[in-house]
Amino acid sequence: MLIPEGFLFSGISCGIKEENKIDLGLIFSSEKLTVWGMFTTNTVKAVPVVLSRKFIKEEQIHGVVANSGIANACTGEEGFKRALTLLKKIAEKLNISYKNLLPASTGVIGEQLPLEKILPHIDTLISNLSNQNYIQFAKAIMTTDTFPKVVFRKTEEGIIILGIAKGAGMIAPNMATMLAFILTDARVSKDYLKKQFPKIVEQSFNRISVDGDISTNDAVYMLCSNLKEVKNWKNFNKLCLEVAKELAYLIIKDGEGASKIIKIIIKGAKTKKDAKIFATSVANSLLVKTAFYGEDPNWGRIFSALGKNGIKFNPEEIEIYLNGIPWIANLKPVKDENKIKEEMKKNEIELLIKFKQGKLSYEILTTDLTEEYIKINAHYRT
């Protein structure tokens, strides 16, 4: 099995979520880990985000305590008190300081952690620790996710990189209601992580969008147990990025109510910023997303979305390709639209939009928008 050495996992049910679903998870290393993290840009930051940001800079880290069901956001002083109580109870049993554990939560905003339900299960949480229980941990962070998200890679030197994430709804570029943990047994310095990890996140978790909303609880971590020497750094970085991109892809694949994954590629923009704005405008346009859902080659909506931010371009210069097939050039369909319509029925779609303003490009993954998204979000408390 591809489990990085030095990590133990656990995931149990405390009754925070209904139907005895697994809702409390622990990752633990008896030796201190090298860790870095990136967090939501939302002004309203959940309690675990505030605490983790602090601990990660100042303290030795030995693991993660994560729960789903309750976000512990907008919970004021009482929210901090409860999070710290939970951390202290677990840390005590593990013989470490509570500041050695990074808290992470996801779920409903504005409600308090039900400690009366959680605390009686802490002994079980710890006694279940095992290097095999990573799936239980992955389940412990699921909310509207329909499957646990776990990805592995192994380098030639035998270094393992394991990624675990949750996502599904409220996903926007800049990491919205998303938790992701990339664990490796490589020896990595904190300075290296600080420099390298943001690059990985920028190319993976910040390139996905389900609904343009940004959560209070996003956090993405890399945790290294330092047990194996990296020889080929280039390959190691490449595999870390692969793990992050694959997790991001799984989050989009499990996007709330989504029936299709759409990769939007902008090429030929004047600046990187323009390329990003074009890609994001198309990715977040409800009219584009519903057109894809309806399998309707309504390319006018793409042009309308490209123009909505007022960046100047000549629409006649734009070329659009769908799954590699020329679709639009000079403001006209290149071929019979039925071919494109046929292609739109696929579950994975690549939409390439070529400008002639420069050489810069940007890529983003998005989903279509379906009645199911509305149902999930009108009737489920996230």
Give the Cα separation of 231 and 260 in Å (integer). Answer: 39
Q: Which of 144, 155, 177, 280 is catalytic?
A: 177
Minimum CB distance to a copy of itself, residue 91 (Å): 27
> Are the beta carbons of 46 and 217 closer than 8 angstroms?
yes
**Which one, 7 or 292, has the nearer CB to a copy of itself?**
292
Minimum CB distance to a copy of itself, residue 214 (Å): 4
Minimum CB distance to a copy of itself, residue 155 (Å): 37
Nearest to 181 by CA among 70, 316, 52, 371: 52
Chain centroid, CA 351 distance in Å: 22
The yes-or-no answer on residue 216 being catalytic is no
Going by DSSP bridges, is the β-strand pair 208-209/360-367 parallel, antiparallel, or unpaired? parallel
Query: What is the b/e burial string over 186-197, where b = at least 16 CB atoms within 10 angstroms of the residue's CB?
Result: bebeeebbeebb
**Which one, 100 or 174, has the nearer CB to a copy of itself?**
174
Q: What angle do CA 70, 64, 105 make, to 5 degrees?
A: 15
| Overall residue count recorded for the chain in this entry | 382
Binding residues for a copy of itself (CB under 8 A): 41-45, 71, 73-76, 108-110, 169-170, 172, 211-216, 284-287, 290-291, 293-294, 296, 298-301, 303-313, 315-316, 330-332, 369-371, 373-375, 377-379, 381-382
Minimum CB distance to a copy of itself, residue 281 (Å): 9
Residue with tokens 């499957």: 147
**Which one, 133 or 143, has the nearer CB to a copy of itself?**
143
Give the Cα separation of 85 and 63 in Å (integer). Answer: 16
Secondary structure (H, E, C), 320-371:
EEECCEEEEECCEECCCHHHHHHHHCCCEEEEEEECCCCCEEEEEEEECCCH
Q: Give the pair of three-digit tokens for residue 95.
A: 């013989």
Minimum CB distance to a copy of itself, residue 376 (Å): 8
Give the Cα separation of 13 and 101 in Å (integer). Answer: 20
Positions marked catalytic: 177
